[in-house]
Amino acid sequence: LMRSRDRRPALQVASIQQCGLDAAEEAAPACPLHGPMLALVLRDGAGRFTRRHCCSFTRRPGACSAKSGAASALSAPNCCRLDEALATPRRLRAYCLNCGRLALGSSELAACATHQLLPRLPKRRLLAPTVFLPPLTTRQSSQYFFSPPSLAYLLRLVRRLRCRQLVCVGCPRLHEAARYAIGGRRCRSLLLDADLRLAEFFPDCLAFNMFNAAFLRPGGRDRFVSWLAAKRGSDSVCLIVADPPFGGLLTPLMDCLQHLADLAAAAGHCEVFTAVAAPYYLGKRWLRPRLSLHDCQLSYANHAKLRSASVSAVRLFSNVPESRLPPPPGTSWCSVCARHSAHWNPHCAACGTCATLHPPARLHCQRCNRCVKAKYIDSHDCRSGLSAKN
């Protein structure tokens, strides 16, 4: 999960043109680190429109402040060093926080002697790098990882659907959990992530920008298509799970997920499902591409306000039928709505639906003929007609 810290655009975005998916846009300017830029039509306070390009990752007009060293690192193909690290004696393996890479052997350790090191990494840490890698805290993004209960539910979803292939977009902890909790014999997992540090630990990891569907290293797209084509069985199910930034532009993000789903369908998967972790208040945007909002609260292990699922505003949006979802914790089956409804979302007979999006439960306003938050009942002046939800 990459969270935006800078959410105030200098100008209002009037429309967005995606530059990374259409072959006709090959001439679009590109950020050296994050791929094709987005074409934004901006409107200023006087109502005047201007067309400008911005880096899709930083999401602000103007040039991206990409470092030349990081850009040059992308010119080389993926370099996974997991096998090399596992074969290196523990006393000779470390992770250099200054260089952002593994230091293996005497020569590499000597080169990083004055740097801050995480020494003597045990094998279990090498197999779960998100446990010891410091989360990104740059100005453009902050990194958060799913909590164990949320991971457990997502793994139950993978098993329930009998997925053969799992595509993790921006959720590395789910990828590493799926690799070892489910195993590659039943389900193969692939990670698409913009965090370049992860490629050293995962052989099945591709540098990817979810805001322009760009594979950031040479041959990345071909590797992804080949991976999809290596499906097992004619009834293969592919699940795409994305954990996007809350402050990102949703239009290019939805285009990207649709693009990945189209590639999976073209590879011959009989079913392709998409699941997205997003705040419930963005529901109107995510429901547009036929994703449903489920009463499944997701939490993050290293986020102070979203650490507990009981108060988290993050929900699971997906096109998985409710009947095929594993029951989320704290839910029961509503036979009228044919969905799993949380205990704080009881069915309203007057509305004919389970209308509460976030606890506490809403109350039905007879005058407005809809369910509203309890604090609004007084302003509607309808205490006498208040009908408790059934």
Fold that domain 145-330 belongs to in CATH: Rossmann fold (3.40.50)
Q: Give me the mean pLDDT over the 338-363 stretch.
A: 88
List C-alpha distances in Å: 183 to 108, 178, 357: 33, 7, 35
Residues of the chain with CATH 3.40.50: 145-330
Q: Which whole number is the average pLDDT over 213-225?
A: 90
Sign of the torsion angle spanned by Cα atoms 347, 350, 353, 355: negative
Mean model confidence pLDDT for the chain: 81
Choose the weakest-confidence range: 96-100, 241-245, 361-365: 361-365
> Which band of pLDDT confidence, cut at 50, 70 and 90, is reported for residue 352?
confident
What is the pLDDT at residue 68?
A: 47
CA distance 244 to 198: 17
Query: Residue 183: what residue type?
Result: G
pLDDT at 77: 55
Higher pLDDT, 64 or 338: 338
Instruction: Say if residue 121 is exposed, middle or buried (CB neighbours under 10 Å; 0-12, 13-18, 19+).
Output: buried
Residue 12: what pLDDT?
47
Report, as an integer, the average pLDDT of 121-128. Answer: 92
Q: Which of 189-193, 322-326, 347-351 has the lowest mean pLDDT?
A: 347-351
What is the chain's length? 390
C-alpha neighbours within 13 Å on the C-beta side of residue 197: 20
Inform me whether the pLDDT recorded for 11 exceeds 80. Answer: no
User: CB burial class (10 A; 0-12, 13-18, 19+) of residue 342?
Assistant: buried
CB 2 within 8 A of CB 33: no
Number of neighbours of residue 357 by Cβ within 10 angstroms: 17
Is the pLDDT assigned to residue 67 strictly greater than 60? Answer: no
pLDDT (average), residues 140-145? 80
Amino acid at position 53, single letter: H
- pTM value is 0.85
Confidence of residue 70 (pLDDT cuts 50, 70, 90): low
Give the ranges where the chain is alpha helix by DSSP (H).
68-73, 82-87, 105-111, 123-126, 148-161, 172-181, 220-229, 250-266, 283-286, 377-380
Token pair recorded at residue 52: 């400008």
Confidence band (pLDDT; 50, 70, 90) for 216?
confident
Nearest to 2 by CA among 34, 36, 27: 34
Q: Which pLDDT belongs to residue 118?
A: 93
30-39, 130-139, 195-204, 283-292 — which is least confidently predicted? 283-292
CA dist 89 and 95 (Å) reads 14
